[in-house]
Amino acid sequence: AQSVAQPEDQVNVAEGNPLTVKCTYSVSGNPYLFWYVQYPNRGLQFLLKYITGDNLVKGSYGFEAEFNKSQTSFHLKKPSALVSDSALYFCAVRDGDSNYQLIWGAGTKLIIKP
């Protein structure tokens, strides 16, 4: 069965420091991986995705994520955090080409302190 785990409910980072939000997944086929961000009272916004190719993918707002097949992980990273990055972050996975269902993690609240 497909599943996504975000092991940290909350991550606290000082402004200017690097940040990492963790995600691990379990699928039977090829994983298509996505990161979304949710701001209060706003819809989910797409950040980046991994489909195939280079394991390091770059996305919006300076975020990047590294796909690690052996560890079945897709951690979200940013070299220098901004206070405006504070939000709820979701990792999601789709299992292969013929499966349209996105499976989501429970979310990680990211708090950037000035």
Distance CA 22, CA 101 (A): 21
Q: Which range, of 17-25, 64-72, 75-83, 89-97, touches another protein by CB under 8 A?
A: 89-97
Quick one: which of 25, 94, 110, 112 contacts another protein (CB under 8 A)?
Answer: 94
Distance CA 114, CA 12 (A): 11
Quick one: which of 54, 70, 100, 114 contacts another protein (CB under 8 A)?
Answer: 100
The yes or no reply on residue 97 touching another protein (CB under 8 A) is yes
Q: Which is nearer to another protein, 28 or 80 (CB)?
A: 28
Q: Is 62 left (phi over 0), alpha (psi -120 to 50) or beta?
A: left
The yes or no reply on residue 104 touching another protein (CB under 8 A) is yes
Residues across the chain: 114
Torsion of CA 7, 12, 15, 17, to 10 degrees: -50
Residues in contact with another protein by CB under 8 A are: 4, 32, 34, 36, 41-46, 49, 51, 90, 92, 94, 96-107
